[in-house]
Amino acid sequence: MSEVDLLIVGAGPAGMAAAVTARQNGLDVLVIDDQPAPGGQIWRSVETVAATKRGALLGEAYAAGQASAAAFRASGAVYEPGSQLWQIEPGFRAFVTRDRQARVIKARAVILATGAQERPAPFPGWTLPGVLTVGAAQILLKNAGEIPEKPVWIAGSGPLPLLYMTQLLKAGGRVAGYLDTTPKGRLMAALPHLPGALGAMGDLLKGLGWKAALKRAGVPVVKHVAEIEAVGTDKVEQLRYRTANGREAIVSAEVVLVHEGVVPSIHPPLALGCKVEWSDVQACYVPVLDSWGESSQDYVFVAGDGAGIAGAKAAELRGHIAALRAAVKLGRLGEGAADERAAPLRSSLGRELALRPFLDTLFAPRPQVFAPPDETIVCRCEEVSAQEIRDLVKLGRPGPNQVKAFTRAGMGPCQGRQCGYTITHILAQAENRPPGEVGFYRVRPPLKPVTLGELASLDQQEPVA
Amino acid sequence: MFRKLHEPLTEAITIYVDGAPVAAEPGESVAAVLLRQKEAWSRTTPVTQSRRAPYCLMGVCFDCLAKVDGVASVQTCLTMVAPGMRIERQQGKRSLSA
Amino acid sequence: MSPRDYDVTVIGGGLHGLSAALHLARAGRRVVVLEKSWVGRHASGATAAGVRTLGRDLAEVPVSLEAMEMWHRIGGIVDGDCGFHAHGQIRVAEFEEQMPALLQRAETMRKLGYQHEEIIDRAELQRLVPALSKHCFGALIVRTDGAADPHKTLAAFRRSCEAAGVTIIEGCGVEVIERRGANWLVRCSGERCFSAPVVVNAAGAWAGKLASLFGDEIELGYKASMMIATERLEPLLEPVVSVVGRALSFKQAGQGTLVIGGGLQGSADLDAQRSFVNFTELAKGARAATDLFPAVRDVRIARSWAGMEAKTRDLVPVVGPSPNAPGVFHAFGFSGHGFQLVPVVGAIICDLVVKGGTSRQISGFKPERLMASRQAA
């Protein structure tokens, strides 16, 4: 069993930054990540792609990842890509599989920098081949230089669809149309938060620039789209949509990309018993953290978007801050020195976070995301429909764990990552109580589907047969 | 469904999808290769045998599962191509006899 | 708040509580079931749902056989088939030197007049479980044993209870017990209060604590047995297989998942109602599974969990009247193998409440055996 001072899970902006700071303070650091190269999702494949033609069309924010990855590589942290963390037990014992070999790593402190995932936004037909998330399409562009063959339909809200469309157009791809699902009146609701956001003016201007580019390119935009449906057998053939004022259309489509914002990856902190709280504005759970990013569990930190969605710059800052505190707790750094070094990081972080109330309000998901029609499959793994969940409500006031037991929703390999919030919201509506009170699935290990053979290999006894 | 921006580079490698040779580029994921195929799907579900294709590309949806070099239920979005790799689309419930 | 009146208050909304409530309601009693979380939250929802007479403690054999007979007609007892299938339970001896113990057990049973446990050889074992590793030598089998689906069973018992007029109240944890005339006043969270002359203690892992509120100090431990469920597979085996000398119970559920248990222990925090899986320990179970069924090495684990329940010193349950509190009946301490007994224990409790006694053999289940002598007055 290997033993380290600090285990960092995830090699995106937060994990890489944490590793750099932890190493500067003399900690013995191991970074594990399920991706094959550093960068996380935002800087996917940055080391090999940033300097190429493809890198140029991905933009400056992407290129910035190259320096971060280089600093991380030079930090002296041990880095093990392609590693799946499937359980952490208190103490800490991390169970990891890499190249089909399972092992146990002992660590004195843990920084979870596992980032975010796109918010599951079920609609009829979302399981058909040809429906992908916008994030997925962007990963295909970064990792494989791959774009939709035919003009693509994009439905969603938030900055990512805008960014992806500008990248796609630059790459020579075509957009059949953008179905903007941002509801009416969101800008007015968000405006009061604008003064606070002005500190991050650059990002706001960038967003306006993307919109202008789409307009110049003549991308058809349909505003206030409320409902979408992918139609087809075996793959998407058509896309049906309906706007808030009732305008309906059916268009032919081969690829439909969807995006309704991102939510923190909460399975790892939940597995460690870290306290989480419901965020109304982001409509998700976020870990309860102190000003250093330490969770309710001693020596467990959460940094990056996993601590609450705030983007790559905030993620790096949070990574540095968490690592400073880890160094203090492991006796390598004085409290005063840590405070001093955290101060400028914290004021930068404050500026990044100031933009969030504006963005979160502007891009708060449309209500239909949480109230899919009855025929919609909500659990992709076990193919459980919204109707089946609603039917169960007749049985007292079930919570997510009872729904799981009786319908198998959440029992598949994704461990509820794609249906957890939908179940919470459907129950909240049906039982007329706030989602935060309904709660979330209990996370049952393993976090990733390890094989019986890999687990068996951890048993120390001699072979019997 | 998807296409490459460029022709595979000179160091293109060959992998096999359900026995048929296809070109791939070092560093890209198996899921990316599957999405370029005429049959752009990865598996059928164990519950209703409906087709699924890579959806999230970041390891959280498990719809890109396929058999890779004889090992079933592998997340192809997290698996990078390697020369000679054999990919088989996974049909329904896993069968252990195969 | 004034108490609501019932004939019987059942504390614990697990399967044993529901079964007792069902039988009592059908005997005309007004029954309320108080459940601190929700129906089937702990052992009943976490069980592997083996329906096994094989290898039972001799004290349990008569009631277990009656329960088995009930399982074979379970659809007539409750509203639903409970997912029950009788594909047999098999206890495998991997090596020849493990056979004498099985042979001796079979001989003991035969002498007592029981015919259900039977020795089979390697060829028959292979015929029944082709996926089993070829090194296995022989086995003890009960062909009429089987397994059910815990959630279907919970749903069926719950539906039947409600149809029979049982009131089930979830999120209702007991806080105080008071004696009021001939009645027991049960005070719960949220200032809810229930009054009845009869109380059934079916509180699972928390039953010892509850018993002490009635003046019964019953020695009780707990178990946190771990389970593994895998991804769905094509049919691999039908019987439930366990192995001599290893912590393994191995079966395939109707939807194709393998359900692997065998009594490996995780840990639990009873006050917090939380249990924890210990993967270092669970690795032994995975090792046993892959040794016995080599084809499953690459099968993926979808989830694992630990279920909490009460364990007695002799691993035999407590079923019977309280020696200290009139009108109080205990049904707990099933020690990891109570699922199969569910239909019959409800009938026993009903006998005790309604008739004041039972013709069924329950002398081995007396609470007194686990109480210090001064208390067992």
Segments of A288-431 assigned E as strands: 300-302, 377-379, 384-385
CATH topology for the C89-143+221-311 domain = D-Amino Acid Oxidase; Chain A, domain 2 (3.30.9)
How much is the pLDDT for C373?
64
Q: Mark yes or no for CB contact B61/A34 under 8 Å.
A: no
Q: Taking residues C151-165, report their average pLDDT.
A: 97
CATH 3.50.50.60, chain A: domain bounds: 2-117+263-358, 122-259
> Is residue C256 within 8 angstroms of chain B, CB to CB?
yes
**C362, amino acid identity:** I
Q: How far apart are the C-alpha atoms of A218 and C189, rounded to whole Å?
A: 63
How much is the pLDDT for A187?
86
Burial class (CB in 10 A: 0-12, 13-18, 19+), A238: middle
How much is the pLDDT for C376?
44
| Cα four-point dihedral sign C346, C347, C348, C353 | positive
How much is the pLDDT for C297?
95
Q: Mark yes or no for CB contact A452/C286 under 8 Å.
A: yes
Q: Residues near C367 by Cβ (< 8 Å), separated by ≥ 6?
A: C211, C216, C218, C318, C320, C322, C323, C330, C376
Is it true that domain A122-259 has CATH number 3.50.50.60? yes
> Is residue A93 within 8 angstroms of chain C, CB to CB?
yes
Domain boundaries B13-89, corresponding CATH code:
3.10.20.440
How much is the pLDDT for A395?
73
**C293, amino acid identity:** F
Chain C residue with CA closest to A463: the answer is C291
- Per residue in C307-352, pLDDT (tens digit) is 999 999 999 999 999 999 999 999 999 999 999 999 999 999 999 9
Is residue A447 within 8 A of residue A85, CB to CB? The reply is yes
Looking up tokens 């047969």, which residue turns up? A465
Q: Residues near C227 by Cβ (< 8 Å), separated by ≥ 6?
A: C46, C48, C259, C260, C261, C304, C305, C306, C307
Chain C residue with CA closest to B94: the answer is C233
> How many CB atoms are closer than 10 A to CB A205?
10
> Is residue A399 within 8 angstroms of chain C, CB to CB?
yes
User: B93, B96, B97: best mutation site toward chain C, by most C Cβ within 10 Å?
Assistant: B96
Chain C residue with CA closest to A89: the answer is C278
- Per residue in C240-279, pLDDT (tens digit) is 999 999 999 999 999 999 999 999 999 999 988 889 999 9
Q: Is C377's pLDDT higher than 50?
A: no
Q: How far apart are the C-alpha atoms of C349 and C16, rounded to whole Å?
A: 10
Q: Which CATH architecture is the domain A2-117+263-358 placed in?
A: 3-Layer(bba) Sandwich (3.50)
Q: Mark yes or no for CB contact A459/C286 under 8 Å.
A: yes
Q: Which value, to the nearest 10 degrees, does the dihedral of the CA atoms of residues A430, C37, C329, C353 take?
A: 0
> Is residue C304 within 8 angstroms of chain A, CB to CB?
yes
> Is residue C165 within 8 angstroms of chain A, CB to CB?
no
How much is the pLDDT for A201?
73
CATH topology for the C4-49+151-219+314-376 domain = FAD/NAD(P)-binding domain (3.50.50)
C168: helix, strand or coil = strand
How much is the pLDDT for A396?
74
Which parts of chain C fold into alpha helices (H)?
A: 15-26, 43-46, 61-71, 74-77, 99-111, 122-128, 150-163, 207-213, 279-292, 342-354
Q: Mean pLDDT across chain C, nearest whole number?
A: 95
More confident residue, A54 or C110: C110
How much is the pLDDT for C190?
86
> What percent of chain C is modeled with pLDDT above 70?
98
How much is the pLDDT for B97?
61
Residue B7 pLDDT level (bands cut at 50, 70, 90)? low
How much is the pLDDT for B9?
60
Q: How far apart are the C-alpha atoms of A388 and A372, rounded to whole Å?
A: 12
> How many CB atoms are closer than 10 A to CB A432?
7
ipTM of this predicted structure: 0.96
Query: What are the residues facing A302 on neighbouring strands?
Result: A112
Q: Is C1's pLDDT higher than 70?
A: no
Q: How far apart are the C-alpha atoms of B94 and A231, rounded to whole Å?
A: 28
CATH 1.10.10, chain A: domain bounds: 371-438
Q: How far apart are the C-alpha atoms of B14 and B7, rounded to whole Å?
A: 14
H or E segment to which residue A242 belongs: strand A238-243
Is residue A299 within 8 A of residue A110, CB to CB? The reply is yes
* B46 contacts in chain C (CB < 8 Å): 231-232, 256
Q: Mark yes or no for CB contact A235/B36 under 8 Å.
A: no
Q: How far apart are the C-alpha atoms of A338 and A345, rounded to whole Å?
A: 11
Q: How far apart are the C-alpha atoms of B61 and A417, rounded to whole Å?
A: 7
Q: Where are the domains of chain C?
A: 4-49+151-219+314-376, 89-143+221-311
- Per residue in C17-69, pLDDT (tens digit) is 999 999 999 999 999 999 999 999 999 999 999 999 999 999 999 999 999 99
Domain boundaries A371-438, corresponding CATH code:
1.10.10
Q: Mark yes or no for CB contact B96/C296 under 8 Å.
A: yes
How much is the pLDDT for C236?
97
pLDDT tens per residue across all 465 residues of chain A:
689 999 999 999 999 999 999 999 999 999 999 999 999 999 999 999 998 888 888 988 999 999 999 999 999 999 999 999 999 999 899 999 999 999 999 999 999 999 999 999 999 999 999 999 999 999 999 999 999 999 999 999 999 999 999 999 999 999 999 999 999 988 888 888 888 877 777 777 888 888 898 999 999 999 999 999 999 999 999 999 999 999 999 999 999 999 999 999 999 999 999 999 999 988 999 999 999 999 999 999 999 999 999 999 999 999 999 999 999 999 999 999 999 999 999 999 999 999 899 999 999 999 999 999 999 999 999 999 999 999 988 777 789 999 999 999 999 999 999 999 999 999 999 999 999 999 999 999 999 999 999 999 999 755 444
- Per residue in C59-95, pLDDT (tens digit) is 999 999 999 999 999 999 999 999 999 999 999 999 9
User: A455, A457, A462: best mutation site toward chain C, by most C Cβ within 10 Å?
Assistant: A455
Looking up tokens 């494989």, which residue turns up? A144
